[in-house]
Amino acid sequence: MAMIPPVLAATYMGAPYFNILIAAAAAAMAWEWCGMINGGRFNYEGWVLTCGLVGAVIAASMGAYTHSLFVLGLLGALLVGISEARRLTTNLPLHSDQMDQAVNPKRTMWMVVGVVYIGIPSLSLIWIRNDWENGLLTVFWLLVLVWAADSGAYAAGRLIGGPKMAPKISPNKTWAGLGGCVVAAAIAGAVIAHVAALEHFGMIKALLVSALVGLVSQGGDLVESAVKRHFKVKDSSQLIPGHGGVLDRVDALLAAIAAAALIGFSNRFVLIS
C-alpha cells in the first residue's frame, strides 16, 4: 500500500518521473526474473538483462520507440550469443552434467523470454503515457481496470466458487472468478469513459474493450503463476515485504498493458489512438 501514492504521483506528473519509475520497475523485475530461473542467483546474464531493459526504456523515454524495440531484439541475440560463446570456450564434455550446469540452453531461452515478458509492457507503458492528449487517462484507466478485474475475480470466486479454472497452476482461481473479472472490468471501463465524457468512446465499445483487457489481465496472472510453479518458487522475490516481488504485484498489469498497446497500435482503441 505504501507504494501506491508515489506510483500515482509519478504517473500524474509524467516525464521524467514516470520514466524513472518504469526504468526502476524494469530493473527490479529483471533481477527477480533472473533469480527465479537461476535458483536465487543473480549472474552475469542478469546484469546483461537488467542493463539492456533499462537501456530500452531510456530509448523509449526519448521517443525512439523503434530504436527501443531494436534494443530488445539486440538484447535477446546478445544473451544467446553469450551462451553460445561460453559453450564453445568451456573445456567440459559436450553432454556432461557439468556442461549442462555451466551452459544451460533452457536457461538462456528463459532469459530471452524475460526480455519479451518485461520489455514489451515496459516500453508499451512509456508509449501510452507519452500520448499528450489521452496518455494520463489511459494509464489510470489501466490501473483501475486491473484493480477492478482482480477484485471482481476474488469476490465472484469467494461468493460463487464452483469448478477450478487451472488447478495445477493456480488452485484458487475459478471459472466464476473469471466471469466476475470480466464483468467488473467492463463496468469499470464504461464508468471511466462516462465520467471522462469521452463522447467518441461509445458505451458499447468501452464495455467490450474493457472486458477484453480485463480478461487478458487474468491470463497474465496465470502466466506468472505457471512460471513460478515451473521453477518451484512461491514468490518472485521478497522485495516488497509481506507482498512478494514486483512481478507478483504487476503480473496482471503487464498483460493488460500489452493488450491495450496492441489495440492502440492497430488504431482501434480511441483512448490512445
DSSP string covering 204-241: HHHHHHHHHHHHHHHHHHHHHHHHHHHTT-SSS-SSBT
Q: Cis (ω within 30 of 0) for the bond into 93?
A: no
How confident is the model at residue 1, as a pLDDT?
58
How confident is the model at residue 215, as a pLDDT?
94
Q: How confident is the model at residue 134 (pLDDT cuts 50, 70, 90)?
A: confident
pLDDT tens digits, 30-42: 999 999 988 888 8
Average confidence (pLDDT) over 54-71:
94
Q: What gap in Å lies between CA 270 and CA 199, rounded to an integer? A: 11
Residues 6+ apart with CB under 8 A from 4: none
How confident is the model at residue 188, as a pLDDT?
92
Q: How confident is the model at residue 92 (pLDDT cuts 50, 70, 90)?
A: low
How confident is the model at residue 222, as a pLDDT?
92
Q: What gap in Å lies between CA 59 and CA 215, rounded to an integer? A: 30
Indicate the DSSP class of residue 86: H
Assess contact for 24 and 239: CB atoms under 8 A.
no
Cross-strand pairs, 240? 244
Question: What count of residues does the chain have?
Answer: 273
Average confidence (pLDDT) over 72-88:
87
Left (φ > 0), alpha (ψ -120 to 50) or beta: where does 40 sit? left
For residue 61, pLDDT over 80 is answered with yes
Place of cell 514489451: 120
Assess contact for 223 and 113: CB atoms under 8 A.
no
Q: What gap in Å lies between CA 19 and CA 57, rounded to an integer? A: 8
As given in the structure block, the three cell numbers for residue 149 are 478485474
3-state secondary structure of 244: strand
- Of all residues in the chain, the percent with pLDDT exceeding 70 is 90
Higher pLDDT, 202 or 214: 214
Left (φ > 0), alpha (ψ -120 to 50) or beta: where does 254 sit? alpha
Residues 6+ apart with CB under 8 A from 221: 150, 170, 173, 251, 252, 255
Q: What gap in Å lies between CA 2 and CA 243, rounded to an integer? A: 11
How confident is the model at residue 29, as a pLDDT?
96
pLDDT tens digits, 158-190: 888 788 888 888 888 889 999 999 999 999 988
Q: What's at 42, amino acid-wise? A: F
Mean pLDDT for all residues in the chain: 85
3-state secondary structure of 111: helix
How confident is the model at residue 241, as a pLDDT?
77
For residue 100, pLDDT over 60 is answered with no
How confident is the model at residue 82, as a pLDDT?
84
How many helices (H) and strands (E) in the chain? Answer: 10, 2
> Chain centroid to CA 226: how far?
14
**Closest listed residue to residue 215, CA positions, set 259, 159, 251, 247:** 259
pLDDT tens digits, 217-264: 999 999 999 999 999 988 888 888 777 889 999 999 999 999 988 887
How confident is the model at residue 267, as a pLDDT?
57
Left (φ > 0), alpha (ψ -120 to 50) or beta: where does 242 sit? left
Taking only Cα atoms into account, the Rg of the chain, rounded to an integer number of angstroms, comes to 20
